[in-house]
Structures are given as C-alpha cells and as structure tokens.
C-alpha cells in the first residue's frame, strides 16, 4: 500500500479520531425534552458527513499511487521553522502572562522581545523597538481603558 | 415615497461634521486592524454616546459603521488578513495584486467600489426603504436555512484546490458552531466537562486566529525581505485610471451591490455574508472564472461594493421596522434605547428628524470615507515597507486585544492562539479556511432555523415544499454544486 | 509585581474599617450578561448613570455575553468579592440557566443585594389575528390541538410563561416554534411565521402603537401603570403570572459595610424622581426590594421553574 499523499492521509486520520472523540462526548449530551429533533440531530448529521468525507479522503490518499505528492507542504527550511516555533512560544508565554502581569507591562516586554527575535539585533534597533513598543502599548491602553472603559487584563 | 429630510440640516453643523470625520477615521483604523470589527467598535461606542445628544451620537455611530466596514480592505489587500469578516473575499484578489506590486491599485479598486456600493445602498435607503422594509419580513426559517445551504455550497464550489477538502472545511466549521450551549434548548454540547467551552467558539477569535496567525507564520518565510515590492509609487493619476476602468465592470458592481443590499435587509445577516456571495456570483458569471483569485480586480469590486451596500441595506429594516439588519445595527438599537428612542414602525413618524439625520449622515460619511482613503492610500502602502519583525508582533498584540475586548475573556485569546495554529496546519495541508469560518458563522443560525422550520412543518420537512423562495435556493445550490463536481471530475480525467 | 503591591495595599485598605467609609475608591464594574441595548442592559445603564449622585465613583457597565448569561455570572463568581464587581440579572435567566445547563454554580453562590427594577411581559398576536382576547386563544388551542403556532424560547422565560399557562388551564397543545430573543419573536409574528407569543412589553410597545401587533394581555400579577387599560391574564381567568424582576448581586462574602453602601445608594437612586422618569420612559418600574425580599423572590421563582420543568419533563 503506497501512500502517495502523506498529508492527506494524516489529515483524514486526525479527522476520524476527532469524530471518535466527539462521538464519545456526545454521550454526555442530555436530551431533556426531545424537542424539534433534539440537540443531537444536527451534530450527528455533521459528524456523519465529516466521517464520510474523511474516509473518502483517506481512500484517495492511498489510491493515487502514481501521482506525485502535490498537496503536501514542503517542510520549510530550518531557519524559518525556528522562527515560527520561537514566535509561537513567545506568544504563548505572553498570553499566559497577561492575566498575571497586566496588559501594559506584558505587552511592552513581548513587543520588544519579539521584535528583537525577528529583526536586527543592534543597539540602535533595540532602542527603536523600545519606542515602538512603548507607543503601541500606551496607545492601545489609552484607547481601550480610558476612552472606552474596557477592562484590560 | 420620499422621506422627509428637513431635519437633516443638523448633519451639516460644524460640530457634527468634525465628530463624523473623526468617526469615519476611527472606523477606518478599527476596520483596518485585524481583530477589531465594526460590531465591536459600535458596541464599544454606544455607551460613549450616552452623554451626547441623540442625533450626534447616532451620526457618529453611522460614521464609525461606514468607516469600519470600508477599512477592512486595507489589511485584506496588503497583508492578506481580513480586518473584518466583511472583507474576507477581498483578500482573494487584492493580495495577489499586492504581491505583483500593484497594492495601490488594489486599494484604489477597493475604495472606489466601497464608495459606489455605499451610494447604491444610500439610494435604496432613501427611496425604497418602506418598500424594501417589508421584504425583510418575507424570510422565514425555511428561507434562511435555504440561504445558508446556498451560501455554503457557493463557497465550497469556488474552492480552487479540492472540492472534497472545501466540503470538509465547511462541515468542520458548522460542527465547531455546535460546541457549547445549543442555541435552541440551551443544553451543553461537546464541552468535554470544561467551563470555557460552554459558551462555544466566538467567530471573531477564530476568524482572526485562522487568517492572521496562519498568514503571519507564512510570512516568516520571507523574513528580512519587505512584504511586497511596489512597482511604482501611487499617484492620483493612477487612481483616476482605476476609476475609469470601472465602466467595464458596471454590471458586476450593480449585481454585487444588489446582493449586498438584499442580504443587509435580511435580519441577522449582513456584510460578512454578502461579500462572499457577491464574490462567488461574480466568479460564476465571469467570462474567465479561473482568473479570480489571481488578482482580477472584479473580485475586489464585487466584494467591496457588496459589503458597503449591505450597510445601507442593514439600516433599512432598522429604520422602517425597528428590526436590525445585521449585528452592528443590532448594537445601534442600544444607542437608540439609551437616548430614549424606541425603534419601531413608527420611528419615522415620531422621530423623523432622527431618521433623516441618520440617512444623510450615511451619505456624508461615505464622502468622508472616500476622501480619507484616497489620501491615505499612499501612507498605507508605506506600511508595506515596515519590516516584518515589527509588523508581526504588533499585529499579534492587536489581535490579542481584539479577541479579549469582545467579551473580556482570556479564553477568547487562547481560542485565537489555538485556532491560529490549527488554521496554519489547515492551510499547509490544503484545506481552505473560508468555508470553515463561514460554517462557524452560519452554523448556529443554520441549526436554529432548520429546527424551527421542522417544528413549523408539524415535525416534518414537508413545510419546505410550500416555500418557493427556499426551493429556489436549494435548486441553485444543488446546481452549482453539481456543476463544480462535474468540472472537477472532468479535470481529473 | 505591580499587581502584588496593589493587592497588599488593598488588603490593608480593607482591613481598616475606617477607610471603608470612602468606598468605592475606583469605578465599580457592573456585569450585564447580555448585549448592549437589551432590556437588562438599559436598566443597568440608567441606574448606573443616575447613581453618580450618590456614590463618589461611577458604575461602568461591562457586557459579557454568552452561555445564556452564565458567562457573565462566572466572571463575577471568579472576581474578588470586594464589591467592585456586580452582577445584574433576573431569575428567569440565572436561576433557570444553572438548572438547565447543569452548571456547577447557582444564584445562591452570590450575595444578593437587592431588586432594582421590574418590567412587564406581554402576550401578543399579529394585527390580522382572529383572537380578541387571551381566552379566545386558549379556547382555540383546546379545540384545535397542535395547530396554533406559539413561538417561544425553549427553556427561557417565554417558555416558562407558556408552561405556567398550561398548568393553570390543563394540558395545552400548541405547536411550539423555537425562537430566541424578543426581537426575533416579534419578527416571527410580523412575518406570519407564528400566531402568538410572549415578549417583554418594552420590546412590543412600538409595534402595538403602530398597530402591527395586538396586545391581548399582560402576564403580570397585577396591572401595570405603564399600560393601565391592558388586562392581566389573571383577570381573564387564567392563573398564570410572571413578574420580570432584575436584581443586583455581588460575590459571596463581600464585606457587610460595602454591601450596605451599595444597597443604600441603589435605594436612593431608585427613589430619585429623575431615575424614575428615565426608567418609566423605557417601560421599567423602579421596584426596590431589600435583600431578604429579593432572596425570597428568587427562591419562589426558582421553585416555580423547578416544578414546571419537572412536570413538563424539561428536567429529569
């Protein structure tokens, strides 16, 4: 069995697994009064259709023996991968820190850190980053917290 | 029947004009920023208008509404990140144009299309409001459901790569809308025992997460290089040339605007839906449909004119019946109520001057929007020169604020982040994002309307057979899906 | 670090009763779990605006929507119980939602302050409907089961109103059309999708005035002074009533003096003629009731829902 389109194969498996999880979870849905088809009709319909389509995708990904893998993604070069992963981790850390540290400090730190990560690492650039970060943070803070009375974390 | 416009001189007072100009500008900025939508902008400003006189407050809201819907095209064209759901379809053709170095032209197309779309919306508002208002009531659960089905098949059938993946995308989107408390009976579904899933997935964090994060991650592969190189600096002459070219697309413009107005009038749907439908229609009726998505200006024209026309359309049921045409006008009702005005069928009789102000404010905001955008196109193109290392984190922080501000919820921020990663994965494996987002937007409405239709039909689907409009939509949906399947099969053979 | 410093200061402040005299020190966040412009929201904004005369710092309304109002409730639950986060809700939502969604908290996990406003619920039909009063509607349903289309929001207040009517009249067999939201129910009447519904009087009034909808009765326990010539259901012989009351809550174990300041300020605001006028213009009745009465009301309402829900199998 020659799997031509690896990504499609994986995707369909993931989808099927997801449907499995949801099927499991749907047992927890309490029907109550079964009114107008009940809360389970639509989800089951959708799950059925998704499962069907995933199966078709699965079969197709296996069947196309001779076609070259076109839909798959080219693994980006290592440098880009590193940047992507780093940015994602940094952003996750930022979001984690937000409720704890408050909006202004966290955003400022994040902006400087991210810009340093992605851009030039010279002292002059650092200063520019700092200024931009400051303006951004204060600007947003002002508009939202003071003008619109929105509560930021 | 002409509306009485004598009360509208208020709009031309200096204070009002200044406030409205600021409103349009603020709206444009908000629309341009990914993560902040017009609905949110208006919702946030409604309390601010509390201290203002009713006419001023509502004129401001109309200006912001106009600005924010139009502003979405900036980020959509230059960054491939839709600033608001109403500009999603704009990304398809505007961004390729930017990549070719014609970003200024793309913006010009968008701006002019927006202006003309709003003008048509204005005409509808002014002349036909009472007549069209009645149209808002013609749609019942059957028709809404049929419309949803039609829209989804439209999107799936225009997905360029794989019909199957487009369908899976749409189904996933619909399914995502099922998470949380069910719309009709309030029963928790698929919450996996958590609290934060109880409110389900809000559209905005998912939308910006998927589009913005996936795009930004994609952009990182070009780190160190500017986002796009402009062929030439943009000039007013070029603007005129673009304007002149519109005469070849008049029918497209008209049809897209009509779609926008129609969708806007229907309560519950608005520019977010109309831009996609108009785009799909433009593509299907074009002589060279395959050029759509590669930088065909007609795609931009279709999307931008319809989303602006929809704003005019959404105001019609609001002013004639007190029923909001879309989510943003729903927020405006709050502004009415805060000032002690009850929108309803008698609004024009009891508060005719207020209605006149709103309508003329719409017209004036449109001109302001055109004026501001023309002047800012040059500035906006410069934004492309900003290095990604700065742009990327800044956009992320703005998206974070946008996701949080909607409901003061950190959960939404995590949804944004998580969906961003998922979105990136989807794009890389060839699944189109648009059907998923559309499925999410329409999912709850689809289910509620379907179940309501089912009850109406006496717990059966027989009710659908009596509704010609619904059957029409179903037929067209089936036809377009069939045609796409056919052409896809032919291509594979 | 800044936040920790602030917490220490706050603790110091709270620990010294003398300082509490100047409470509130910063704006008070009032969480309204519904969209801006909805009926709960309007009453909160009016009161929040007028209470400025009696409190040194303003009320700021936050609309935190979702999960049938539970999202907003959860927010207040999680917040520090220092009186700076209030919840503005009514039993039809909070009491019911916790039951139906099996949430792990209920209204009893909050400290009730007082009731603030009440509003009326109206029973309506379209203008060309053959029914001239409520009795006629019920007679029709009895004679033609399953034919009359009644739009209501499942597990919502409109549903419970309907169930209360069922209870008083024996089994009613109308065709129930699920439609959530006052505006949507009005639209369903106007567009001919349904024949009868219950919405808040505030939402219905513009259409009654224009003649597009006919008002059959008010589902209150007594006549409303906002519509004095409209009979209540009780008067027409149907023993079903629902009084739509809105109350304010804070987190559990909020210090008593803070609560007292809030209750006092709210009471004064509701007695203020400007407030009364503003509320009446929006079809609200100022209806101040103290903590004990509020808790009693909520308990009664909750018991009523529970009975109706169990009897009609909405709950198992």
Dist CA C60 CA C31 (whole Å): 8
CA distance C314 to chain A (A): 5
Query: Residue A142 pLDDT more than 50?
Result: yes
Interface of C with B in 140-159 (CB under 8 A): 146, 149, 154-156
Dist CA C154 CA A43 (whole Å): 19
Q: How confident is the model at residue A34 (pLDDT cuts 50, 70, 90)?
A: low
ω into residue B352 within 30 of 0, thus cis? no
Q: What is the pLDDT of residues C132-148, one digit of tens each?
A: 888 888 888 888 888 88
- What are the structural domain ranges in chain C? 2-119+243-311, 121-218
Question: Which of B50, B330, B456 is the closest to C35 by Cβ?
Answer: B330
Q: What is the pLDDT of residues C273-300, one digit of tens each?
A: 888 888 888 788 888 888 888 888 888 8
Task: Tell me, yes or no, if C18 comes closer than 8 A to chain A by beta carbon.
Answer: no
Q: Same topology for domains C2-119+243-311 and C121-218, yes or no?
A: yes
Least confident stretch, A4-18, A57-71, B92-106, C114-128: A57-71
Task: Tell me, yes or no, if C49 comes closer than 8 A to chain A by beta carbon.
Answer: no
Task: Tell me, yes or no, if B335 comes closer than 8 A to chain C by beta carbon.
Answer: yes
How does DSSP classify residue C250? E
Task: Tell me, yes or no, if A33 comes closer than 8 A to chain C by beta carbon.
Answer: yes
Dist CA C151 CA B320 (whole Å): 23
How many whole angstroms from its chain centre is CA C179? 18
The pLDDT of residue A32: 60
For tokens 């779990």, the residue is C33
- Interchain proximity B43–C154, CB inside 8 Å: no
Query: What element of type H or E holds A74?
Result: none
Least confident stretch, B44-53, B66-75, C257-266: B44-53
* Best mean pLDDT range from A77-81, B171-175, C101-105: B171-175
Q: Which residues contact C186 (CB under 8 A, 6 or more apart)?
A: B323, C124, C197, C199, C203, C204, C207, C213
Q: What is the pLDDT of residues A101-141, one digit of tens each?
A: 777 778 888 888 887 777 766 667 777 777 777 787 777 77
The pLDDT of residue B391: 79
Which residue of chain C comes nearest to B447, CA vs CA?
C178
Mean pLDDT over the full length of chain C: 80
Interface mutation target, options B200, B325, B408, B458, chain C, most CBs of C under 10 Å: B408
- Interchain proximity A152–B167, CB inside 8 Å: no
For tokens 């009763």, the residue is C17
Dist CA C280 CA C2 (whole Å): 45
Give Dmax (Cα) for chain B. 67
The pLDDT of residue B366: 92
- Interchain proximity C36–B199, CB inside 8 Å: no
Interface mutation target, options C60, C191, C281, chain B, most CBs of B under 10 Å: C191
Nearest by Cα to C266 from C34, C84, C104, C52? C52
Which residue of chain C comes nearest to B408, CA vs CA?
C64
Q: Where are the alpha helices (DSSP H) in B80-199?
A: 88-99, 103-135, 141-158, 163-176
Query: What element of type H or E holds C61?
Result: strand C59-63
Query: Residue A73 pLDDT more than 50?
Result: no
ipTM of model over 0.85: no
Chain B residues lying within 8 Å of C186, measured CB to CB: 323
* A133, C95, C110, C268, C287 from C219: Cα distances, Å: 57, 19, 28, 29, 17
Nearest by Cα to B276 from B384, B380, B156? B156
The pLDDT of residue A69: 46
Strand order in the sheet with C149-152: C175-178, C149-152, C196-200, C121-126, C213-218
Which residue of chain B comes nearest to A9, CA vs CA?
B429
- Interchain proximity A80–B220, CB inside 8 Å: yes
Instruction: Assign domain C121-218 to its CATH architecture.
Output: 3-Layer(aba) Sandwich (3.40)
Q: What is the pLDDT of residues B123-145, one digit of tens each?
A: 988 888 777 777 778 888 888 88
Task: Tell me, yes or no, if C63 comes closer than 8 A to chain A by beta carbon.
Answer: no
The pLDDT of residue B306: 93
Mean per-residue pLDDT, B201-227: 80
Interface of A with B in 91-130 (CB under 8 A): 91-92, 94-95, 98-99, 103, 107, 110-111, 114-115, 117-120, 129
Query: Residue B148 pLDDT more than 60?
Result: yes
Overall fold of domain C2-119+243-311: D-Maltodextrin-Binding Protein; domain 2 (3.40.190)
Chain A residues lying within 8 Å of C312, measured CB to CB: 33
Q: What is the pLDDT of residues B408-455, one digit of tens each?
A: 778 888 888 999 989 988 888 888 888 888 888 888 888 888 888 888
Per 3-state DSSP, chain B is made up of helix, strand and coil in percentages (nearest 5) of 75, 0, 20
Mean per-residue pLDDT, B246-257: 88
* B110, B137, B249 from B297: Cα distances, Å: 9, 35, 9
Chain A residues lying within 8 Å of B187, measured CB to CB: 29-32, 39
Q: Where are the alpha helices (DSSP H) in chain C?
A: 2-15, 39-50, 70-78, 91-100, 134-143, 157-169, 182-190, 201-210, 256-271, 273-281, 291-311
The pLDDT of residue B116: 92
- Interchain proximity A101–C3, CB inside 8 Å: yes
Mean per-residue pLDDT, A82-98: 84
CA distance C60 to chain A (A): 7
Task: Tell me, yes or no, if C143 comes closer than 8 A to chain A by beta carbon.
Answer: no
Query: Residue C11 pLDDT more than 70?
Result: no
pLDDT > 70 in chain B, percent: 95
Question: Which of C60, C154, C312 is the closest to A149 by Cβ?
Answer: C60
* B321, C132, C211 from C128: Cα distances, Å: 17, 10, 10
Q: What is the pLDDT of residues C211-227, one digit of tens each?
A: 888 888 888 777 777 77
Question: Which of B187, B217, B223 is the closest to A39 by Cβ?
Answer: B187
Contact criterion met (CB below 8 Å) for B29 and B71: yes
CA distance C2 to chain B (A): 20
Dist CA C20 CA C23 (whole Å): 5
Strand order in the sheet with C28-32: C59-63, C28-32, C85-89, C244-251, C110-119, C284-289
Query: Residue A144 pLDDT more than 80?
Result: no
CA distance C287 to chain A (A): 28
Question: Which of A54, A80, A114 is the closest to B221 by Cβ?
Answer: A80
* A9, A48, B165, C116 from A58: Cα distances, Å: 5, 15, 12, 60
Contact criterion met (CB below 8 Å) for B47 and C36: yes
Query: Residue C109 pLDDT more than 90?
Result: no
The pLDDT of residue B362: 92
Question: How many CB atoms sit inside 10 A of residue C226's CB?
Answer: 18
Mean per-residue pLDDT, A19-36: 73
The pLDDT of residue B256: 92
Least confident stretch, B186-190, B200-204, C97-101: C97-101
Dist CA A106 CA A118 (whole Å): 18
Contact criterion met (CB below 8 Å) for C218 and C224: yes
Chain A residues lying within 8 Å of C313, measured CB to CB: 32-33
Q: Where are the alpha helices (DSSP H) in B2-53?
A: 14-32, 38-48
Q: How confident is the model at residue A152 (pLDDT cuts 50, 70, 90)?
A: low
Contact criterion met (CB below 8 Å) for A129 and A116: yes
- Interchain proximity C102–A30, CB inside 8 Å: yes
Q: In a 3-state reduction of DSSP, which class is residue C117?
A: strand
- Interchain proximity B458–C149, CB inside 8 Å: no
């Amino acid at each position: 069995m020659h799997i031509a389109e690896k990504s499609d194969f994986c995707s369909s498996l993931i989808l099927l697994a997801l449907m499995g999880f949801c099927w499991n979870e749907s047992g927890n849905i309490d029907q109550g009064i079964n009114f107008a088809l009940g809360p389970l009709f639509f989800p089951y319909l959708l799950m059925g259709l998704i499962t069907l389509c995933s199966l078709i995708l699965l079969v197709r990904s296996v069947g196309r023996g001779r076609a070259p893998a076109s839909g798959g993604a080219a693994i980006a070069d290592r440098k880009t991968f590193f940047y992507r992963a780093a940015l994602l981790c940094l952003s996750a850390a930022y979001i984690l820190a937000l409720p704890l540290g408050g909006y202004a400090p966290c955003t400022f730190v994040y902006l400087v850190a991210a810009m340093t990560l992605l851009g030039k690492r010279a002292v002059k650039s650092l200063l520019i980053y700092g200024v931009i970060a400051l303006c951004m943070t204060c600007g947003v803070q002002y508009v939202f917290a003071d003008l619109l009375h929105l509560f930021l974390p | 029947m002409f509306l009485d416009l004598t009360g509208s001189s208020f709009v031309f007072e200096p204070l009002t004009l200044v406030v409205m100009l600021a409103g349009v500008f603020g709206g444009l900025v908000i629309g341009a920023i990914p993560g902040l939508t017009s609905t949110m902008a208006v919702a946030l400003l409604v309390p601010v208008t509390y201290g203002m006189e009713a006419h001023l407050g509502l004129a401001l809201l109309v200006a912001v509404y106009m600005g924010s819907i139009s502003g979405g095209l900036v980020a959509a064209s230059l960054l491939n990140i839709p600033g608001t759901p109403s500009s999603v379809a704009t990304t398809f053709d505007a961004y390729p144009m930017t990549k070719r170095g014609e970003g200024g032209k793309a913006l010009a197309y968008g701006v002019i299309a927006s202006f003309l779309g709003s003008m048509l919306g204005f005409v509808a508002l002014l002349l036909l409001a009472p007549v069209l208002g009645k149209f808002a009531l013609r749609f019942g659960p059957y028709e809404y459901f049929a419309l949803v089905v039609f829209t989804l098949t439209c999107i799936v059938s225009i997905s360029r790569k794989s019909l199957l993946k487009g369908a899976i995308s749409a189904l996933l989107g619909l399914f995502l809308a099922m998470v949380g408390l069910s719309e009709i009976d309030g029963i928790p579904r698929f919450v996996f025992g958590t609290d934060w899933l109880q409110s389900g997935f809000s559209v905005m964090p998912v939308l910006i997460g998927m589009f913005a994060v996936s795009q930004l991650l994609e952009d990182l592969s070009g780190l160190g290089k500017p986002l796009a190189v402009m062929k030439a600096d943009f000039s007013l002459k070029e603007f005129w040339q673009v304007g002149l070219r519109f005469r070849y697309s008049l029918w497209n413009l008209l049809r897209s605007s009509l779609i926008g107005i129609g969708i806007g009038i229907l309560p519950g749907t608005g520019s977010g839906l109309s831009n996609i439908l108009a785009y799909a229609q433009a593509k299907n009726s074009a002589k060279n449909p395959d050029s759509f998505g590669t930088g065909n200006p007609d795609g931009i024209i279709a999307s931008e004119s319809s989303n602006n026309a929809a704003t005019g359309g959404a105001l019609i049921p609001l002013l004639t019946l007190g029923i909001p045409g879309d989510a943003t006008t729903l927020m405006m009702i709050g502004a009415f109520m805060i000032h002690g005005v009850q929108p309803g069928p008698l609004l024009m009789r009891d508060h005719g001057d207020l209605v006149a102000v709103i309508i003329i404010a719409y017209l004036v905001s449109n001109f302001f929007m055109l004026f501001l955008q023309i002047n800012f196109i040059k500035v906006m193109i410069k934004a492309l020169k900003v290095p990604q290392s700065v742009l990327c984190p800044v956009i992320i922080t703005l998206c974070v604020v946008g996701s949080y501000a909607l409901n003061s919820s950190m959960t939404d921020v995590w949804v944004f982040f998580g969906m961003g990663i998922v979105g990136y994965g989807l794009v890389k494996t060839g699944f189109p994002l648009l059907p998923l987002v559309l499925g999410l937007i329409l999912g709850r409405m689809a289910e509620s309307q379907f179940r309501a239709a089912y009850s109406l039909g006496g717990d059966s689907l027989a009710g659908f057979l009596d509704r010609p409009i619904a059957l029409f939509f179903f037929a067209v949906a089936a036809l377009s899906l069939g045609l796409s399947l056919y052409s896809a099969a032919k291509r594979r053979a | 670090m800044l936040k920790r410093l602030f917490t220490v200061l706050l603790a110091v402040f709270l620990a010294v009763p003398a300082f509490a005299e100047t409470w509130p020190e910063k704006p008070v966040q009032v969480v309204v779990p519904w969209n801006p412009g909805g009926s709960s929201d309007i009453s909160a904004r009016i009161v929040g605006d007028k209470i400025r005369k009696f409190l040194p710092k303003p009320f700021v309304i936050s609309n935190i929507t979702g999960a049938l109002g539970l999202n907003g409730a959860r927010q207040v639950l999680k917040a520090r119980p220092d009186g700076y986060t209030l919840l503005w809700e009514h039993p039809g939502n909070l009491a019911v939602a916790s039951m139906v969604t099996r949430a792990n908290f209920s209204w009893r996990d909050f400290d009730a302050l007082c009731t603030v406003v009440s509003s009326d619920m109206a029973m309506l039909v379209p203008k060309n409907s053959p029914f001239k009063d409520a009795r006629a509607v019920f007679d029709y349903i009895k004679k033609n089961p399953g034919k009359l289309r009644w739009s209501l929001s499942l597990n919502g207040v409109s549903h419970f109103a309907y169930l209360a009517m069922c209870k008083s009249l024996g089994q009613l067999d109308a065709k129930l059309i699920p439609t959530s939201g006052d505006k949507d129910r009005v639209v369903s009447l106007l567009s001919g999708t349904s024949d009868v519904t219950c919405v808040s009087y505030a939402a219905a009034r513009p259409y009654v005035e224009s003649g597009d909808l006919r008002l059959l009765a008010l589902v209150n326990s007594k006549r409303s002074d906002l519509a004095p010539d409209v009979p209540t259901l009780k008067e027409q012989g149907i023993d079903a009533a629902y009084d739509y009351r809105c109350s304010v809550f804070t987190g559990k174990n909020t210090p008593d003096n803070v609560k007292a300041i809030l209750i006092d300020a709210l009471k004064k605001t509701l007695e203020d003629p400007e407030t009364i006028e503003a509320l009446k213009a929006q079809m609200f009745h100022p209806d101040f009731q103290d903590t004990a009465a509020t808790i009693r009301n909520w308990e009664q309402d909750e018991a009523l829902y529970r009975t109706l829900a169990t009897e009609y199998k909405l709950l198992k």
